[in-house]
Amino acid sequence: MSSTASSARSGAPIHDHDTTIPTATAPAVGSAAAPAELAWRQAGHDVFVATSRGEFAGFVTVDDTAHVVHDSHSRRIGSYPSLAAARQALVDATRPPSRSRERLRRRILSRRR
């Protein structure tokens, strides 16, 4: 779906591209919940906003050389050479940690004490 509106600030057209990228997130054990998906909308010529189940999930800004990803709290995740790589980085950042990765993280942190 694509529609065009005009920006209140500049009067320039805003192109609204609604695309959804499914994640590889597995449902929690004992849960019948479906995997989370990110829906993307282009908010400006250089800003793409993601939502997950209707909630703000993060955004990507585009400058001359990079695509900068921010999470739902506007914390910078990283800078990527393509929009596809930036979108995937946000998908990865919103994916809940696996049990094995969480156990590894706890072991590493316990060794540091």
SS3 state at 90: helix
Instruction: Kindly report, residue by residue over 35-79, the tens digit of the pLDDT.
Output: 468 999 999 999 999 999 999 999 999 988 899 999 999 999 999
Between CA 94 and CA 28 the distance in angstroms is 15
The residue among 7 and 81 whose pLDDT is bigger is 81
Mean pLDDT of the chain: 75
- pLDDT given for residue 100 in this prediction: 83
**Span of 33-42, 76-85, 97-106 with lowest mean pLDDT:** 33-42
Q: State phi, psi for 84 to the nearest 5 degrees.
A: -60, -45
- pLDDT given for residue 98 in this prediction: 77
Range of the domain at 17: 2-24+31-112
**Residue of 57, 43, 59 lying closest to 9 (CA atoms):** 43
Q: Please count the structural domains in the chain.
A: 1
